[in-house]
Every structure is written in C-alpha cells, then in structure tokens.
Amino acid sequence: MIKKGKATTKSVRSTKKSQPVEEPEQQSSKSSYIYLAIIVVVIITAVVLMVMNKFKPQQAQQKQENQQQMAISDTDKLILRVGELIATKADEQPTVATVQDAELLKVDNPEFYRDAVNGDRLLIWSDKAVLYSTSQDRLLAVMPISQPETTDTPTSTEMITGNATTTEMDISALLSEEGAIIQVRNGTRVAGMAKKMSDYLKAHDLPVAVVSDAVMKDYATTTIYRLTTEPPMQATDQALKNVLGVEGISTDLPKEETTSGGDYVVIIGADYVE
C-alpha cells in the first residue's frame, strides 16, 4: 500500500510538469503595442509637418517685415544722431546712402570724400550733404547745397508752350528758377565718371548737388530718374534729355538705389564711358 501511494504521487507530479506555458500570446500582444505606437508617432509627425508647412510662408513674411522694420529703425536712429551733431531740417526726410567704394568716390570728389571709408553714411538734405563716420561717430564732411534765388523770369510753362521768347539766357534763368536738386551716380567701374558727368552738366547750367557712387556697377545705359512729381520742372526735364541725348525720364529708380530726397538721379551707364 505504501508503494502504491508513492506511485500515485509521482504520477501527479509528472502531470504538473507537462502543463504548457502561454508565452507566444504575450509576445504577440507586445508586438501589437509597438506597431500601434509607431503608427501614432507617424501620424503625429505628419500633422506637425503639415502645420509647419502651412505657417512657414507666414513666418518668412514676418521675418522679412521685422528686418525691414529694423532697417527703418536704424535709418531713423542715424538721422537723429546726425541731427545732434549738426543742425538739419527737422521737417525734411533726407536721402540716406551707404559708401560702397570709398576709393572710387575719392576720385570723383576728393575733397568731400577725403576721409571716407566703406560703410560710412551719406545724408542729403535740400540745403546740405553730410558724410558721417559710423565707426568714429562723427561728421567727416559737410557740403552746402545752394538754393537759387527767385527771379522775375518766364515760367517753365511759358517756355514749353511758346508764350514767351526763349533765348539761351531765358533757359538758364528757368533752370535756376526751378532749382532742381540733381544727383549724379557712377554706375560703372570706371573711376572719375561721376565727376566728369557733373562738370558736363554744370557747363550746361544744370546744377549738380551731389556726386556719388551707385550701388550697382553694371548699368548698361545712362538713365535719368525723376524722384518727385511736384513741382513740375519742364525746363530741367527737357534740358537733361537734350544734354544727355536721352529720349525719356524714368520714375522707377532701382530698389538698390532707393532714395527719399532730391529731384533727379542721373546714373551713368557703360554707354557714356564708350
């Protein structure tokens, strides 16, 4: 009887050891969770990319607007600083330019640009031109721009319409009456062309207020740009076209040459050099 009891116990133990383990089902469940997590990550990534692509143009536009605002702010600060160093017309917005090639400008106007270096700023009001050093925070040169006196001469309209007899003296008086502020800029890489053009225009009674360097150096043709529409300056328009042999006057100054002062900008092109 004792032997039978042992045999029974052994049989029971053997039965317990032969029970199967359910591990494959647990592994399958873990794999499902992993795949689900991957799908969720992919969906979230796609949504994020769609949102970024949607707002990217707006961000780029905002960045550009911020940069333009900063540039405007810097220009305003520059004008205020120069106004602290010299009396300026508070109600007049000057033309502001940056010296790009100081050595070339010194050839055109050695006295005014004698101490200039690249990066200095040029500010032009109707009564003066000011060269300001950004590195030294001081004025390098100031050039007065003379204003013509009013004379009792025929008006520009009379000369154009033929209501007055126009002589060479009359035309000179009309140009003086209109008092145009003319800037000459060298748009070529040939040194001295702006000074040469300035002397040429002055010889024909066309006053040049400022001689400087254009930002771009690859202008093919010499072009006259009219910056203002009022007051009318028919005599100056016609004189500039006749003297330079140009058929028309443009009002679309290249954006690189943006200016807010003066009446005319004459940019010298390669055709004038030739």
Question: Where residue 135 falls among pLDDT bands split at 50, 70, 90?
Answer: very high
If you average pLDDT over residues 217-241, what whole number do you get? 87
If you average pLDDT over residues 79-87, what whole number do you get? 90
Q: Which residue has the higher pLDDT, 192 or 7?
A: 192
Question: Where residue 162 falls among pLDDT bands split at 50, 70, 90?
Answer: very low
Q: From residue 40, give the alpha-carbon distance in Å to each of 24, 35, 43, 52, 60.
A: 25, 9, 5, 18, 30
Most confident range, picked from 28-37, 138-147, 161-170, 239-248: 239-248
Q: What is the pLDDT of residues 9-29, one digit of tens each?
A: 444 454 455 555 555 555 667
Q: From residue 186, give the alpha-carbon distance in Å to each of 21, 80, 183, 192.
A: 92, 28, 10, 8
CB atoms within 10 A of CB 192: 11
What is the C-alpha to C-alpha distance for residues 213 and 211, in angstroms, rounded to an integer? 7
Q: What is the pLDDT of residues 33-60, one digit of tens each?
A: 787 888 888 888 888 888 777 766 666 6
200, 182 contact by CB (below 8 A): no
Tokens of 256: 């690189």
What is the C-alpha to C-alpha distance for residues 148 and 263, in angstroms, rounded to an integer? 14
By the 10 Å C-beta count (0-12 exposed, 13-18 middle, 19+ buried), 130 is classed as buried
By the 10 Å C-beta count (0-12 exposed, 13-18 middle, 19+ buried), 268 is classed as buried
CB atoms within 10 A of CB 88: 18
What is the C-alpha to C-alpha distance for residues 201 and 116, in angstroms, rounded to an integer? 25
If you average pLDDT over residues 238-244, what whole number do you get? 88
Output the pLDDT for position 266.
Answer: 93
What is the identity of the amino acid at 56?
A: K
Place of tokens 């994020």: 48
Among 150, 145, 98, smallest CA distance to 126 is for 145
Residue 157 has pLDDT above 60, yes or no: no
Among 78, 82, 97, smallest CA distance to 212 is for 97
- Going across the sheet that includes 95-98, the strands are 95-98, 121-124, 128-133, 138-144
Residue 179 has pLDDT above 60, yes or no: yes
Cα–Cα–Cα angle for 113, 116, 121, rounded to 5 degrees: 100
Least confident of 9-18, 73-82, 153-162, 204-213: 153-162
CB atoms within 10 A of CB 4: 8
The full set of domain ranges for the chain reads: 146-273
Output the pLDDT for position 27.
Answer: 60
Residue 163 has pLDDT above 50, yes or no: no
Output the pLDDT for position 153.
Answer: 43
Least confident of 17-21, 213-217, 226-230, 244-248: 17-21
pTM score of the predicted model: 0.48
What is the C-alpha to C-alpha distance for residues 200 and 196, in angstroms, rounded to an integer? 6
If you average pLDDT over residues 193-204, what whole number do you get? 89
Least confident of 13-27, 89-103, 209-223: 13-27
Q: What is the CA radius of gyration of the chain?
A: 39
Residue 61 has pLDDT above 70, yes or no: no
Among 183, 162, 191, smallest CA distance to 273 is for 191
